Structure 1
Amino acid sequence: PSPSDLEDRAAEIIANEIIEEYRDEDSLLRRALRAWPIGPIIAFHKRNHKKKWFVFYVYFIAIFIFVPVGTVVIILEQILWMGLEEIVRGTL
């Protein structure tokens, strides 16, 4: 078989394993999806995903929570890298 065929077969096997893992109620993947913090989010989504207000709620969360948190994380990362750079320069 060609490398492309082998890649396709490997991808199919992996996808089938993930599907079976998800279907098994006692699997580690299924238990992880029920654990905090992702479990309540998934349960909330299952209950409300067909309601009209749900889309606006998701955009509200994305815009007013995730964007500021992401910005702060990026700023902190830059500050950390600058600090590490200064430490490395000072020791060399």
Structure 2
Amino acid sequence: MKEKMRKRAKREGEQNGEEEGERMKWEKRRQSGGKERERRRRRRREEEKEEKEKEGGEEGRRRRRRRKRRSGRKRGKRKSREANEEKEEDEEAKEEEEGGG
């Protein structure tokens, strides 16, 4: 139990009764860790993107963008809806032919 308390105190920068300013410094450092990590991750992502552009060239990037746009559920829904509408139109046309003939 004491060990847990000591670890917690150390983590919060209160070990040996450090003053308020010291604790605030540790708090800030702990909070800024996530920001720094995110910044590094973003920079790495941008670098990878640039490398891919160099490899693939302009048309490679365009092709990749087109492929990205194509994927998705909306497109599938639209196609199936169009197919259903066509089926209904065909059925209506058949009924009209049978009724008129």
TM-score > 0.5 by shorter chain: no
TM-score by length of 2: 0.33
The TM-score with structure 1 as length reference comes to 0.36
Report the structure, 1 or 2, having the larger helix content.
2
In terms of Rg, which structure is larger?
A: 2
